[in-house]
Amino acid sequence: MIDWFAFLVVLVSALIGAIVVVIAYALGIRLLTVSGRTPIVTPAEFTDAITVVTPAEIRQAEKRAAKAAKKSPLSDGQKRAALVGAWACFALSAIAVIFGIYVIVGEHLLLLFGG
């Protein structure tokens, strides 16, 4: 016999966990950008792949990010607070993921290492 209530509890907790991780990470990216540290990721170089972003486009994106950082109406203290908030959001996201992994395999790890 299937315990539908337990199934519902697992479904709801998984959805809430996923929502918390996504919101924390997205808010962290937003706060990182507000703090003036726009995350620009250069594409990986593959010898037999098509280059999606040219070096000129990378320079142009870096120039736009620097220009936007200069235009920011935030004071240095506000930017620092946004940066601290961004790292706090990333930490919350990482802790939620680590806790989820612990919930799934924690008991097995304790048995495995004799805890």
Mean pLDDT by 10 residues, the chain (115 residues): 89 92 95 82 62 79 79 83 94 92 81 74
pLDDT score at 44: 64
Q: What element of type H or E holds 19?
A: helix 4-34
CA distance 103 to 30: 29
How many C-beta atoms lie closer than 10 Å to residue 28's C-beta? 19
Q: Positive or negative, the Cα torsion across 105, 115, 98, 40?
A: negative
Query: Please, what is the Cα angle at 39 between 35 and 41, to 5 degrees?
Result: 170
